[in-house]
Each structure stands twice: as structure tokens, then as C-alpha cells.
């Protein structure tokens, strides 16, 4: 007897394509006692507002019928949205559908994810019996957060399996769509391990892999034996279909068969997967970005080249009269290291032309942030012109530290179709760049080591406007990720005036963050999931 784990990359809304992937994986697993697919596998995750359309749910139902017909002799458990026909509650269930030899049984999710707002809007929680009989074995079927206690405790106080244990299941199955969060894989494994220890049952966990919009799913599906160790696992960030002998689930081995990548290896792989899927799933193939010679654009170009192919990423160097010579030489060195095409288009003449055009209105007023932003917007016009002419998708290169405090120009350096590192703090930008260079220089070391500057006025440095990034990021982490109050942050040893300044900047720049490109989410609190009002509210 064997169980098959199908860790696949599904496309949101592509029900036909997802259906064919499910059928192909099931057919190659003929002879398995159960082929397990991830949460919402049929429609892709997250489906968001697609769930409001009857035609969308109709297509899901028809696809399930075809899967059942074409895989009649293969037992399948697949995640899908299912109509709630009770006349009470929300219109749908988040479900796992079992199909085999004309039999169909629907297992419904109980606990709706607090981080996925669409769940509470469209799905009704269920207390139904979630026991599946497979041969002589009883499987307790859980979906996503059913395995978790929403209080956030590591030890599970409340778990769906509590309700199923009186029926004495032999095995627990959890199908999930757990998005990637940097350094979260070990925490996830420990939470699942607590379930195995609590109920003394083996556990099968199947996660999605791939990226959709801002969500990145890292896979890492795994099987726990009775001793609560991972007796077999699937790799992170890869699509894999693997048969697991049932005998393995009773293993008493005492070490985990799962290697969790380091922080920066996993962050690197997640961002590459996010870029690649964003392009492939929308039919794009080529990217363009402004390469300044600074660390942010250098990192984004390196990631994009790894995701799309060096030849498919074009860099445009846009030096101003305030750019240093090393900015151009560092940018050229990176493009040559990668073997990517690049162009140099100085903006000095365009800047002076616009200054002359505006002089009757500005009437000799002194140089200020207006002229700085004007240069950033000239660059954006040139980059978008290249994008329109050649079809290359513009990548945004702003980091999370800048986005948090509004250190960027709307319709200037904040433009782009995808924000690659908008959920990565500046300190991690530096560390990830060093990790990339761990074996040989790809990003020029001078780019990593020099003082950050926007180079929009003479001798400008980021620290003219902001505290040193390690200090800034530490304050931002406490306020944004940990939801700490100003007083609590000051109590940790930070200067009171600085803390209040940073928090005022975060709050006042919410209007900017509402207008940015989709951001690849890699943290607990990406700005895309942090619902805050627009305005200079007081904390």
C-alpha cells in the first residue's frame, strides 16, 4: 500500500490547465491507495474574488466530474471550492474532495485563515465528520488552518483532530496552501510535529508550490512517522509527485528526513520563483529595469537574470549630472558579469529641458526635493518607453525599508509592474547580496560596500534623511512586524525622538504604498496584507 504526494504549481483561474495537471499526476500514480493534492489545487490559490462568480464554481464542478471520469480507478483527494447548498451561511466551502470508482465524499474546512481575508468572505466553516476510509485504514482529513490553533501558540491547544479522535483514525492528512514566510519552515514543521506527538498518529502534509500575485508557496511537503520525525519529504520550491510506502509511516526513525534551507538560500529561491511565475503565468518573458549602480537594483537584476535567463533581462543605466563615476562602472560590471544587455541613457539634457520649461512657473525658487523627484520621473518615463516599445516588463527595485518610510518617488523610482524586493528590508538586501557572492563575485563588491545614495543632488547620502539602516530596520521590524507601540520600542533602548519620527513616516506614507506594484510577499507582515487607514493618524 502506498500514498502519493502531489506537490504541484497551479495557476489561479486556469481550471482547465489545473485539471489536466491533476489528471496527469494521478495517472502516473496508478496503484496508489490515495493521491493527495494541495488545498484549492483545482482553482489555484488564492482565488480571491473569482469565488463570487457562479460560472467559476460551475467550471470547478465540471472539472471535478471529468477528473472522476478519467481517473475512475485512482483514489484522489483534491482541494477545491464547493457550493454550500444548505441555504445558511456563506456560499461556499473550502473543501477536500475524495473521488474513487463513482464514490465522492466532500471534507470541509472548519477554521478559516485569518491571513486570507477572502476565506471569511466566501467560505462557511464546517463541523462535519472528516474521516475517510481507505481500505482498512481511517484517515483524518484536515485542510490548512484546521491543523493550527489561531491563538498563535506553538503548542496546539485547539485542533480539528480533537473532534476526529473518538473515531480512532490511523493517520492524519493535511492539505495546505501555506505561503512562504522567511525562516518559517522550521516553525511550520514544529507545529505539525506537535500534532503527531499530541495524537500519536502519523501525518501527511501536502503543500502547494509556485507563486500567484504576491503569494509564494514553497512546497516542502512531508510525512511524519509515529516518533514525530519527518520520515520522507519533498523538496522546497519544486514540483514533485512522489509515492510513499505506507510501511514508512510506522517508522520509528529518530531524525528528520528534511533539510530546511538557510534564511538567504530560501529567500533567494522564493524570490526567483516569484519572478518566474509572475512572468510565465501572465505570458511575459522579458524584463527591464533601471540599473543605478546601487545595491537594490543590482540585487533585483541578479534575481531576475536567474529567474528569466540573463539574455531576457535588460538594464538601462540612467546617470544624472549628480551620479558618480563608480555608479556607471559598477552597473556596467554587473551587466557584464551576468551577460545581460544594457544601455546607457544620460538624463542631464532632459532634466535641464524640463527645468527650462518650468522656470516661468518656479520663478527662480531654490533647488529642492522637486528637482530630485523630477529626475526620478524622467528615468521612469524612459524605462516605461522601453517597456512599451519592446514588451519588456518593468521591475520595481524599491526595498521594504524605503517603502515603509516613503523614501521613494511616486511615478518615479516607485513605478513598475512587479516589486521584487518590496518586502525585503535593506539590511537583508545587503546580506542576500553577500550570500549570492559567497562563491564568486556576481554583484560587484563595491556596490555592496559603498554608502547608499539616491544621487539626486550633490554628495547625497540616504543617511541625510534616514537613520542608519540597521537602526531603522530594527525599529521598523518592531512596529510593522511585531505591532509594538512607540513606548514599547523605546523601552528596548531606542531613542524616543527617532522612534516617533520613524513611526510618523510609516503612518504618513500609507497613501504611497497603496499605489505601488504587486510586491512579492516573504514576511509575516507584507504591506499588501497590512490594512491601515490613509492619513497622519497618531499612535
Q: How far apart are CA 136 and CA 124, in angstroms?
A: 31
Q: Which residue's C-alpha cell is 502519523? A: 202
Q: Three cell numbers at 103?
A: 464514490
Q: How far apart are CA 203 and CA 240, in angstroms?
A: 19
Beta bridge partners of residue 174, listed in sequence order: 142, 205
Packed helices 348-362 and 369-390: angle between N→C axes, nearest 10 degrees: 130
Q: How far apart are CA 147 and CA 392, in angstroms?
A: 43
| Of the candidates 140, 32, 19, the residue with the CA atom closest to the CA atom of residue 80 | 19
Note whether 277 and 212 are within 8 A (CB).
yes
Q: How far apart are CA 31 and CA 138, in angstroms?
A: 19
Note whether 176 and 79 are within 8 A (CB).
no
What is the helix (H) or strand (E) element at residue 210, kind and residue range? strand 209-212
> How many residues would you count in the chain?
539
Q: Three cell numbers at 473?
A: 530596520
| Of the candidates 12, 40, 13, 42, the residue with the CA atom closest to the CA atom of residue 25 | 42
Catalytic residue selected from 19, 21, 39, 71: 39
Q: Three cell numbers at 71?
A: 481517473
Q: How far apart are CA 105 and CA 128, in angstroms?
A: 11
Q: How far apart are CA 448 and CA 459, in angstroms?
A: 18
Q: What contacts 142, CB < 8 A, 6 or more positions away?
A: 130, 160, 161, 172, 173, 174, 175
Q: How far apart are CA 253 and CA 51, in angstroms?
A: 43
E strands, 304-427, in order: 313-317, 342-344, 393-396, 418-419
**Catalytic residue status for 148:** yes
Helix (H, G, I), strand (E, B) or coil at 1: coil
Catalytic residue selected from 108, 109, 281, 400: 109
Q: How far apart are CA 4 and CA 232, in angstroms?
A: 12
Q: What contacts 90, CB < 8 A, 6 or more positions away?
A: 84, 121, 122, 123, 124
- Which residues are known catalytic residues? 39, 109, 148
Amino acid at each position: 500500500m502506498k500514498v502519493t504526494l502531489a506537490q504541484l504549481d497551479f495557476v489561479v483561474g486556469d481550471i482547465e490547465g489545473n485539471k489536466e495537471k491533476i489528471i496527469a499526476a494521478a495517472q502516473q500514480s496508478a496503484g496508489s491507495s490515495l493521491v493527495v493534492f494541495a488545498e484549492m489545487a483545482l482553482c489555484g490559490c488564492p482565488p480571491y474574488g473569482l469565488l463570487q462568480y457562479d460560472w467559476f464554481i460551475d467550471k470547478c464542478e465540471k472539472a471535478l466530474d471529468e477528473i472522476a471520469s478519467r481517473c475512475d480507478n485512482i483514489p484522489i483527494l483534491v482541494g477545491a471550492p464547493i457550493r454550500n447548498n444548505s441555504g445558511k451561511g456563506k456560499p461556499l466551502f473550502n473543501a477536500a474532495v475524495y473521488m474513487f470508482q463513482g464514490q465522492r465524499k466532500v471534507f470541509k474546512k472548519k477554521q478559516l485563515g485569518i491571513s486570507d481575508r477572502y476565506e471569511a468572505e466566501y467560505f462557511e466553516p464546517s463541523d462535519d465528520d472528516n474521516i475517510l476510509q481507505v481500505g482498512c485504514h481511517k484517515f483524518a482529513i484536515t485542510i490548512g488552518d484546521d491543523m493550527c490553533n489561531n491563538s498563535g501558540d506553538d503548542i496546539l491547544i485547539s485542533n480539528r483532530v480533537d473532534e476526529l479522535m473518538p473515531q480512532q483514525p490511523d493517520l492524519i492528512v493535511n492539505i495546505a496552501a501555506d505561503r512562504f514566510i522567511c525562516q518559517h519552515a522550521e516553525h511550520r514543521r514544529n507545529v505539525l510535529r506537535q500534532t503527531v506527538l499530541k495524537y500519536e498518529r502519523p501525518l501527511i502534509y501536502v503543500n502547494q508550490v509556485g507563486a500567484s500575485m504576491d503569494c509564494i508557496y514553497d512546497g516542502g511537503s512531508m510525512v511524519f512517522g509515529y516518533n514525530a520525525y519527518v520520515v520522507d519529504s519533498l523538496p522546497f520550491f519544486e514540483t514533485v509527485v512522489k509515492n510513499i510506502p505506507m510501511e514508512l509511516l510506522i517508522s520509528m526513525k529518530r531524525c528528520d528526513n528534511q533539510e530546511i534551507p538557510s534564511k538567504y538560500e530560501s529567500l533567494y529561491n522564493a524570490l526567483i520563483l516569484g519572478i518566474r511565475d509572475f512572468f510565465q503565468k501572465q505570458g511575459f518573458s522579458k524584463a527591464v529595469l533601471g540599473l543605478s549602480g546601487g545595491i537594490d537594483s543590482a540585487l533585483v537584476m541578479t534575481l531576475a537574470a536567474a529567474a528569466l535567463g540573463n539574455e531576457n533581462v535588460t538594464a538601462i543605466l540612467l546617470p544624472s549630472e549628480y551620479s558618480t563615476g563608480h555608479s556607471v562602472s559598477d552597473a556596467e560590471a554587473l551587466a557584464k558579469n551576468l551577460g545581460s544587455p544594457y544601455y546607457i541613457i544620460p538624463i542631464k539634457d532632459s532634466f535641464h529641458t524640463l527645468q527650462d520649461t518650468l522656470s516661468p512657473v518656479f520663478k527662480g525658487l531654490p533647488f529642492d526635493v522637486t528637482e530630485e523627484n523630477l529626475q526620478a520621473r524622467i528615468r521612469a518615463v524612459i524605462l516605461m518607453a522601453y517597456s512599451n516599445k519592446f514588451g519588456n516588463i518593468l521591475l520595481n527595485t524599491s526595498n521594504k525599508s524605503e517603502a515603509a518610510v516613503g523614501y521613494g518617488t511616486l511615478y518615479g523610482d516607485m513605478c513598475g509592474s512587479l516589486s521584487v524586493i518590496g518586502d525585503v528590508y535593506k539590511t537583508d538586501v545587503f546580506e542576500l547580496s553577500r550570500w549570492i557572492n559567497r562563491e564568486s563575485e556576481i554583484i560587484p563588491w563595491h556596490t555592496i560596500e559603498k554608502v547608499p545614495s539616491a544621487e539626486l543632488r550633490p554628495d547625497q547620502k540616504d543617511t541625510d534623511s534616514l537613520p542608519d539602516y540597521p537602526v531603522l530596520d530594527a525599529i521598523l521590524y518592531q512596529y510593522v512586524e511585531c505591532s509594538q507601540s512607540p513606548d514599547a520600542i523605546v523601552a528596548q533602548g531606542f531613542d524616543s525622538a527617532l522612534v516617533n519620527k520613524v513611526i510618523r513616516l510609516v503612518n504618513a506614507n500609507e497613501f504611497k504604498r497603496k499605489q505601488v506594484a504587486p510586491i512579492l510577499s516573504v514576511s509575516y507582515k507584507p504591506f499588501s496584507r497590512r490594512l491601515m487607514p490613509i492619513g497622519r493618524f497618531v499612535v
